[in-house]
A and B are shown apart, each in its own frame.
Chain A
Amino acid sequence: RRGARGTRGAGEATAGGSPPCPASRPAVCRLRQVGKGELRKIPVPANRYTPLKENWMKIFTPIVEHLQLQIRFNLKTRNVEIKTCQETKDLSALTKAADFVKAFILGFQVEDALALIRLDDLFLESFEVTDVKPLKGDHLSRAIGRIAGKGGKTKFTIENVTRTRIVLADAKIHILGSFQNIKMARTAICNLILGNPPSKVYGNIRAVASRAAERF
């Protein structure tokens, strides 16, 4: 179990039972598969660097404790690297951990992203505003403003009704939730982009959500 904060260099091989490279071989031997383990790398953009630093504890604790994986932040490459080890029981854990970290990097809260580890059937969908309708300049800004609402009101409403989490990063939209809910939220957001007033969108999502709730 190792929760190392990125102090190691790139060329260093982590513990895993690989033999030291002989002198004749090139010094840099970047092995993807170290021993038996698999490796995942998630790049971190600059704006998320600080939040990562702040939430590092909250990030690596569930990965290491619950999923039995090894994680580190590679300072040089600015990647979060996750690796399996002998203690890893579940092979799907690596995927989950990678998704979790990715979600955080995209902008979700740690607690929200944590749901990815805990639940199997959560997904992450991303699309752009211009995918829905080719908007430029002011129109684009207005569309984004419609999605957000005043003080984020509209976005929160959609989140609450559809039980999803939405990250609105300029022209990019990321939705986290279960499949049906993602669909509902996506429809609502697309309607907003296309120009429907928020009140109408509320009505629609409410109707859809009530129907979905009735079914279960």
Chain B
Amino acid sequence: AVPGVLGIQTCLRVAGAAAARPECFLSVQDGLAADFRAMTKTLFDLNKGSNIVRGGPLKELVIENFDEEQIWQQLELQNNAVLDFFKKSIAADADDEDLCLLSDQEEDGSDAETSSDKEFEDNIMEAETEQMNVYTKDKDKTKAKEKQSKLKNKSLMQKYSDEDSDIDFDIEALEQQAKTAKETTLRKKGRKSVVDDKFFKLAEMETFLEHAEKEDKEEEEEDDINYFEDIISDDEEDSEEAKVRISPIKSSRDMTYKDFYDSVDDDDDGDDDLVANDAEGDQEEEADSAIEEQNEESMSEFEDMDEMVEHMRSKEASKKVTFSLPDDSETEHVTKVPLEKGINPSEIKSSFEKRQEKMSKKIKGLEEALLEEKPWQLKGEVTGQKRPENSLLEETVLFDHAVRMAPVITEETTFQLEDIIKQRILDEAWDDVVPKEKPKEEAFEYKKRISLDHEKSKLSLAEIYEQEYMKLHQQKTEEEENPEHKEIQEMMDSLFQKLDALCNFHFTPKPPVPEVKIVSNLPAISMEEVAPVAVSDAALLAPEEIMKKNKAGDVKTDAEKTPTDKKRELRRKKLRKRMRQREKEKRQKLLEKMKPEQGTKLSKKAAAAKLKRLTKEGKASLLKDEGKDKALKSSQAFFSQLQDQVRMQIKDASKLKKKQKKEKAISVHKLKL
């Protein structure tokens, strides 16, 4: 025992050291791998040492120069032997009536200890097993044992891949749960018919048929959408459930005889356990497949290990013909309840009863749903307040778009546009705006269009409208004169003329033939020239067409003018004069304001007017030229006379002033000067 303990302690040390630095496992660790291999060998040899477990052809685990595959195969050989031993011991223990299925953990633990020689390993994995036992609700020790064995393998796996550790753990929990769920399924243990065999059980067949029927039913029902069902969104589905629901698909290569048929040693009583094992095995397979899927990207080294583990488990698994029963999955989904303690035979229901139950349940469910308040989607017109926030975003709403949708600009559309543009450039087909020209109409043209007729119209109203109507619905039947008719007419005319001339004594002149004379309104010189000269349209027009005719009409002499015309002309004249006068006055006023001296000087009239005014008022007097006064004859004389006059006046004034000073008392009024 001592070397065993020593070996285990070393193993423990190594494992602990490795576990302490998990980050190393991110890369390939050759040294650690060698250590682990050595550890495996020691453990294997330890097992070999104890004589409790018999079997196994190998005496020791050879690791030198062996690759993983070979080591695994050696382990497998050992494991097969060990498993056989376990099964025998389990069978023996199950038969043991002293042992109860609902035994405590201690019993399990003790059993485990007694049955296996892996007590040493138990110490190592004590923590893990304890955790496992916490989950185990059923006290089947085989399960525990298998768990432990699995654990051992798993722990190796765990050490090698940190990535998977979390996932593995979840799966462990899952499996436990699944197991508990499975335990609740009732198996028809009671019914044993005459037909039963090692391979065939009538009860099982019946159950299978029932489930098949149900499946058919379900398939039909699946077509209709159950409106009252809560739609499970993608988020709700846990990865766990997904894993659980993965159907256990085992590749045909891996299947062996044991998958289909029981081993020969089986008893009926052990069926239950094994059935339970089957269930567990299924679950384990599921879990394994799940693990496999997830570990696809894991390191290649560990793929072999996975296979080994799975292989082991498959061997542990079902030894009987089983049918995949959907019922189980349903129930396990619905009931994650701890197992029912006992299955009473009296409660076994017939298929009809079961069907009825299901039906009634469904009916109940439907009724409840009908009575309940309808979801907002089915309530007709729903405003924003009546439905949860942002609930429309999750709905796919259909409505008609009355407006043409804006074009989605994608790369392709831009490419198309660019192609069009390039083509247009090559073709030089520009979309230039053509400048619009306002049609400038001459006044005459305009007037020509609607001439004012001042006379009473010769056509009656009816005829006017008739003409209009005909114009609108004109059917051009231009009867062109037959040239022959023309000829005939001309000949006849000439003949009659001659006859008339002969018949009549009085001269009858020829009837006027409308001559078509081309009048070119050009000066003679241009006509004579041989070289063509550019002719403007203006020359070809009548003078009235060039220039507007005078409003007065034709020019008339005084004799031709009517009194109205005369009066009109007079009025015009007066008006013109008036205007001129007004302008002049305005100018004058302006000038006076700006430069007053110039104003009076410049205009003779203004001066005369002023003079007149002054003379009227009496401030000035006009000197009449009678020839007597010499002074008026020349300006010199006049001014000299004026000067003398002024001098005299000044003298007088100064004298007066002196006198006035003396005679102040005498007022002017009194003197009346």
Interface residues, chain A, CB within 8 Å of chain B? Answer: 109, 111-112, 114-115, 118-119, 122, 149, 152-153, 156-157, 159-161, 163-165, 176-178, 202, 206, 209-210, 213, 216
Contact = CB atoms under 8 A, between A and B. Distances in A.
28 contacts: A111-B462, A112-B460, A112-B461, A112-B462, A114-B460, A114-B462, A118-B465, A119-B465, A122-B465, A152-B456, A153-B454, A156-B456, A156-B457, A157-B452, A157-B453, A159-B457, A161-B450, A161-B452, A163-B461, A163-B464, A164-B461, A177-B461, A202-B452, A206-B450, A210-B446, A210-B449, A213-B450, A216-B472
A202 B454 CA distance: 11
Nearest to B472: A216
Given A156-B457, A159-B457, A206 B452 contact: yes
Interface residues of B, number: 19
6 nearest CB pairs, A to B: A111-B460, A115-B462, A112-B461, A115-B461, A153-B454, A160-B453
Nearest to A154: B454
A176 B461 contact: yes
Contacts of A216: 472
Most A Cβ at <10 Å: residue of B462, B464, B466, B468: B462
A206 B446 CA distance: 10
Contact of A157 (B454, B465, B468): B454
Among B461, B465, B472, chain A packs the most CB atoms within 10 A around the CB of: B461
Contacts of B464: 163
A149 B450 CA distance: 20
B455 A156 contact: yes
Nearest to A177: B461
Nearest to B469: A119
A114 B466 CA distance: 12
A157 B461 CA distance: 14
Given A115-B461, A119-B465, A210-B450, 16 more contacts: A111-B460, A112-B461, A114-B460, A115-B460, A118-B465, A122-B461, A157-B452, A160-B457, A163-B464, A164-B461, A176-B461, A177-B461, A206-B447, A206-B450, A210-B446, A213-B450
Contacts of B453: 156-157, 160
A153 B454 CA distance: 5
Contacts of A160: 452-453, 457
A177 B462 CA distance: 10
Contacts of B468: 163
Interface of B: 446-447, 449-450, 452-457, 460-466, 468, 472
A157 B464 CA distance: 15
B469 to A, nearest CB: 8
A163 B468 CA distance: 10
Contacts of B465: 115, 118-119, 122, 163, 178
A153 to B, nearest CB: 4
A93 to B, nearest CB: 17
Given A210-B446, A210-B449, A156 B454 contact: yes
Nearest to B460: A111
B135 to A, nearest CB: 97
Contacts of B454: 149, 153, 156-157
B472 to A, nearest CB: 8
